[in-house]
Structure 1
Amino acid sequence: MRHSRRRRAPVRLVVRRQYADLTMRAPDAGVPAMLLEADRVTEPVDDLVDKLRLYPATGREGYVPVVFVFTGQTVAQRESRMRRLEQAARRYFAGTPHRGEGFTSVDYHQAVPVVVTELERITADPAGAAGAVWRRRGRDEWQTLSEAVDNPDGVRLYQVQLREVRRREAEREAAEREAQRPVCTQCGIKFADERRQETKRSAWPGEWDRLCGPCKREAADCAEAERVARRRAEEAERAAAEAPAVKPRSRFRIGRRR
């Protein structure tokens, strides 16, 4: 009895791709490129969040900005939608605070700048899109587009704070070195840097390593003078010991008999 095998139909994976409505440039605002989404407050917020997921690294601080322009419905509904987007997409735009004492800056290199506005707000502003009609998610104030996509608390602030942290660290290390600086046992003056390094290189620490430079030279001069005086005394003593004995002459001369 033969069993027939049924061929299974190939499984097709359907990948849903998200596309921005527009890819724009805003050179006047200092934005080389941004993705713009026009939203009529009709599709689910989760669909808006999906559009923040699949962007490659740009080699600069952060990813390409994504701008949402909301329109339609009521002011309250648009505001509610912007709040919901902020809550749902925070992990994409928030950035990571730098760790360590003295840092309040944020690392935005893996963050997507998310900016929102309302078409009604743009049309009502005398400056139009050039006005303070843009709000960066994570911030409370309305700003111009260049201000909204900028990161004043990002890498620039980090570099300033890093220099300040290093300066304080250098001052602390210098204070510790100064507190450990040796003091001359002769005159009570702290060692100069050169003298301190000299004593550190000494293979056989001795009494003179406790003296500062001037006191060491004075002690060396005294020791040399004592050595010279001692050598001369020894030489004089040795010369006296090695000299031949001389017999004393008589005061009276005895004449020779004839």
Structure 2
Amino acid sequence: MGVNWAELKAVGGERQTADKGCFPNEPVDDLVAKLRRYSDWFGLLAPKADADREKAARRQGVAVHGFRLWSRIYPATGREGYVPVAFVFTGRTKAQRASRMRRLEQAARSYFAGTKYPGGDITAVDYHQGVPVVVTELERITADPAGAAGPVWRRLGREEWQTLSEALDNPDGERSYRVQEEQSRRRQMEREAAEREAQRPVCTRCGTKFADERWLWVRHHPRLPHRDLCDPCLDEHHEQVRAEKAARIQAEEAVAREAAAAEAKKNRSLFRRR
């Protein structure tokens, strides 16, 4: 059919590949049971694998697979999740085939759906612990000029029919998470910066917001005088104080000189009278 079945190897109790191990005429419950066995098998630890390190690696996505038995038997897929499983439906009517695929999708969701990455504004899905499941119809493959290489596959959990590579890709998976995580981090930094900016003091003299250095200084010196003034206004204040002090000294000196002059004049007058 032109399908790269090596990409679709699935592991169950019989260690069968997807094209030989899936029987679409079986009851949906049996197909779900197969997926359950695949999922259980994929979770088995490799011999001598460290269970504690495996548990910690689950938070690192793909790193966890290095501790699992399946990764010692099958090559890495290059995608999140376990080795994919394919079901090819045939026979009966188109409506009946569609109904069986929908029933399989509903019943097996816990095995393929993945989980949402943490974060209130994150929509990406963590597929690392999921079994990618693609379905198609033999009738759809034979009707497409490209056969199995055409857009005849539907990934369970999606609506569109895609090529096999497209169906197995995870555009809403880890790649999306990394982008959303960076966007979320940037938005958080912007919110924190806005909140911080809203708390920035304003000079009571000129109405200008404090520069970072001045703000940091007054925060670390709670008893600092004139905490309500920015640096330029504080400089003006000190200059004004110096000017007023100089003027006061000058005035005091002028008064002293006048008093001294008056005393001298008085003494001269007394001398003349004698």
CA contact (8 A) 2:24 2:87 kept: no
More strand by share: 1
For residues 250 and 45 of structure 1, the distance between their equivalents in structure 2, rounded to whole angstroms, comes to 133
Instruction: Single out whichever of 125-134 and 95-104 deviates more from structure 2.
Output: 95-104
For residues 186 and 128 of structure 2, the distance between their equivalents in structure 1, rounded to whole angstroms, comes to 25
Deviations 1:211-240 (A, max 9, x none): 111110011122234445666778996xx9
For 2:141, the equivalent position in structure 1 comes to: 122
* Aligned pairs for 1:1-258 within 5 A: 18-22=13-17, 37-42=21-26, 44-53=30-39, 54-56=41-43, 57-58=64-65, 61-206=80-225, 208-228=226-246
Deviations 1:93-151 (A, max 9, x none): 01112354322221212111111122332222111111001111111221101111111
CA contact (8 A) 2:36 2:111 kept: no
**Residues 157 and 143 of structure 1, relative CA distance in 2, 3 Å threshold:** same
- Which structure has the larger Rg over C-alpha atoms? 1
For residues 234 and 34 of structure 2, the distance between their equivalents in structure 1, rounded to whole angstroms, comes to 79
Aligned to 2:161, the other structure's residue is in SS state: coil
Aligned to 2:214, the other structure's residue is in SS state: helix
**Residues 179 and 234 of structure 1, relative CA distance in 2, 3 Å threshold:** same
Q: Structure 1 length normalisation: TM-score? A: 0.70
RMSD: 3.4
For 2:46, the equivalent position in structure 1 comes to: none
Which structure 2 residue ranges, 5 or more long, are not aligned? 1-11, 44-63, 67-78
Aligned to 1:115, the other structure's residue is in SS state: strand
Which amino acid in 2 is paired with 1:41?
N
Number of equivalent positions: 221
Q: Structure 2 length normalisation: TM-score? A: 0.67
CA contact (8 A) 1:38 1:70 kept: no
For 2:6, the equivalent position in structure 1 comes to: none
For residues 218 and 245 of structure 2, the distance between their equivalents in structure 1, rounded to whole angstroms, comes to 24
CA contact (8 A) 1:115 1:134 kept: yes
For residues 139 and 119 of structure 1, the distance between their equivalents in structure 2, rounded to whole angstroms, comes to 19
**Residues 161 and 114 of structure 1, relative CA distance in 2, 3 Å threshold:** same
**Residues 133 and 165 of structure 1, relative CA distance in 2, 3 Å threshold:** same
More helix by share: 2
**Residues 42 and 219 of structure 1, relative CA distance in 2, 3 Å threshold:** closer
Higher relative contact order (CA 8 A, sep 6+): 2
